Structure 1
Amino acid sequence: MKRKDGICISFISTERTMATRQNRKEELLKSEESFRRNARVIIAEMINLSNQTREDTSALVDEILHSIFFLGEIHCPPISPESILRDDDDDEDDEDENLLKALKDCYPRPFKLYSCQLPRRSPFSCVLDMVVYLIGQENEEEIRDGLQQFITDVEDGAPSKHLISTTICISQKSSNSVRHYGVSMSTSGRNAGKIMVAASCLSAWNDYVANAVMTYYPKKSKKSYFDGTIKIPRVRCQAFNLRMGGEMKPCRSCGNMFGLNTDVAKEWDYGNCAEVESLSNLLKNEIEVKEQSQPTSDTWTPENISRTAEDVLRELRAVLRMIKFKWDGHFYTPQSSTV
């Protein structure tokens, strides 16, 4: 009886393991197809928007191609540029092949460097820049509506976390001054988020904002030897939900980093929120606001700033080694198309 029970229990356990593996396989396939679908639509929309501009915005297309291809490379399982741009239902589709060839001709660098260089920011930041450029920074409501419609078109009734930002933030020095926009990280998965936050800290964001993020990166705990947090003066910094609409309060992370008033207890991963990019753009362009935001901690020293950046770089390299990404040490610099 015991032997039979043992066999029965072993059989049930094996069945459960097989079912779990099957469910996992199905989830990975759904994730892969969702990523590919969203990527194809976003690329097509960005090309369409770029064609509507009078000025050359091809650098934004170049940048988003590299950023999407990189995130496809580190996806599990990896998704190649060719897989993104071809429709699996018709491997011989001439339209897909023509698009792939045209993109390789116009934007060769993303195809060559997505597997060895890191993006400076996540894809939806490029979408934001394109929309702001087309509509004009002063037309805030139209920009929010445009991004909401963009997301609706990409998802096509099937909400997805891939390559889509859920939040936008607008920062202003005063009510009649230039608006500075930012969106939340358009990444999915812990590794992708950690990589992109570190890359943005080291290569893209304003130094004060980057120092504030690196104070807590990557474990949500404040470093004992460094405090680069800042207190933003009384400026506008308002986030909105891009799917549902409506204002959003800063999370606890943004309160900790930037001194933003909030009663929200939720602490998101540091660097993930739209406020980070928006405030970075504000401080890059409003010198007076930056001067008023300088960190005040005694631990904010050149030596500790350097040490913190080295720690973040070390963490970044460790994550890249874990996922077997061979980084050449460079952050990708987008270029305008020569065609």
Structure 2
Amino acid sequence: MEKAAVEFMKDDHFRSSAFLIIDEMVELSRRRPSVLVDEILHSIFFLGEINDPRYTPKHIVSDDEMFKALRDHYPRPFECCSSQLPKRSPFSCVLDMIVQLTGQQNENQIINRLRQLIKRLGASNDLVSSTVCVTQKNTAEDSVRYYGVSMSTSGRNPGRIMVAASCLSTWDRYVADAVMSYYPSKKRKSYFDGTIRLPEQVRCQGFSLRQVKQMDPCRSCGNLFGLTTSEKQVWSYGHCAEAESISNLLKKENEMRELVQQTSHLNTDENRQKAKNSVSKELSHYLSMVEFKWDKEFYIPREAAEDQE
């Protein structure tokens, strides 16, 4: 990266984090070309669009040569960042890239690589996740590990927008149901309860990415997923790494999905649709607050879009 670019952005946390993360993803993709670069560009550019102050792609990628190379190779993030919503926040793409390069079984290496990247980003919390979660169907050493990170957004509106987008477009239905039971408040809806209870044999362990320590589930994750915890802190629902990690498990492990329990009498198709409509309405409200004109489409990265044609 050009020294001048670093100097130019050293006091601007959003842009410095964005530039460094993009630079890292491009470098990692040299080892394994990936649609994840396309996806993370759109996710970061979208968050720049709704940031205060607003940042265009040119503000974020200030190096002219790099800007041209990215726009030539990945034109759609530049075209769609002002009209389409990402399905997840940027650091999820970083996580996926590192898991693909490292191998899902190498848990410690994956967590350490994430910590090393965050350390290089410095004190900035912009576009950076604070925790990672590892979920397995049981504690056997050879069971597949599924990873997730907390929402890598800063501020109330971006966080709520990305949680809603994840509920409506990305997360497994059971995880989305659980989060929609509360979203956007910390009080469960009176008419819908889609919270779940994971089977007791499931391992779901969180780790801090700023410090070298394990994290117990917060009270919110206990309420959503039936995780055992003594924590009293209730964080905003859907922001924790457990949501993405558990969703990834349930998408791949059908036997686990069949054991998940949704027990409330309020969990009916009619009530679920009502909750989903409420989330969609809240999403539109938060997008209007940040003056984003959504075309009602969720962004599909280039290779994935071509696969569907």
Normalized against structure 1, the TM-score is what? 0.85
Q: What per-residue deviation string (whole Å, max 9, x for no partner) do you get for residues 3-52 of structure 1?
A: xxxxxxxxxxxxxxxxxxxxxxxxxxx99811000100000000000101
Equivalent residue for 1:82? 58
Q: What per-residue deviation string (whole Å, max 9, x for no partner) do you get for residues 155-197 of structure 1?
A: 2xxx111000010000001222100000000000000000000
1:215 aligns with 2:161: no
Query: Hey, which bits of structure 1, 4+ residues long, moved more than 6 A?
Result: none
Say if 1:97 and 1:52 are closer, same or farther in 2 by CA, change over 3 A. same
Identical counterparts, % of pairs: 56
Matched ranges for 1:24-173 at <5 A: 33-53=12-32, 56-57=33-34, 59-86=35-62, 96-155=63-122, 159-173=123-137
1:286 aligns with 2:253: yes
CA contact (8 A) 1:249 1:264 kept: yes
Unaligned runs of 5+ in 2: 1-8
Equivalent residue for 1:299? 266
> 286, 295, 309: which is aligned to 1:328?
295
For 1:336 and 1:287, the matched residues in 2 are separated by 26
For 1:187 and 1:322, the matched residues in 2 are separated by 16
- Secondary structure at the residue paired with 1:75? coil
If you compute each CA radius of gyration, which structure gives the higher value, 1 or 2? 1
Which amino acid is the alignment partner of residue 255 of structure 2?
E
Q: What per-residue deviation string (whole Å, max 9, x for no partner) do you get for residues 208-243 of structure 1?
A: 000000000001110000000000112100000011
RMSD: 1.4
- Secondary structure at the residue paired with 2:148? strand
For 2:208 and 2:291, the matched residues in 1 are separated by 35
Which amino acid is the alignment partner of residue 150 of structure 1?
L
Q: What per-residue deviation string (whole Å, max 9, x for no partner) do you get for residues 139-160 of structure 1?
A: 00000111111111222xxx11
- Secondary structure at the residue paired with 1:264? coil
Matched ranges for 1:3-42 at <5 A: 33-42=12-21
1:205 aligns with 2:171: yes
Which amino acid is the alignment partner of residue 105 of structure 1?
D
Count of residues paired in the alignment: 294
Which amino acid is the alignment partner of residue 12 of structure 2?
E
Equivalent residue for 2:5? none
Equivalent residue for 2:147? 181
Normalized against structure 2, the TM-score is what? 0.93
- Secondary structure at the residue paired with 1:110? helix
Which amino acid is the alignment partner of residue 275 of structure 1?
E
For 1:102 and 1:31, the matched residues in 2 are separated by 23
For 1:222 and 1:32, the matched residues in 2 are separated by 40
Say if 1:257 and 1:217 are closer, same or farther in 2 by CA, change over 3 A. same
- Secondary structure at the residue paired with 1:169? strand
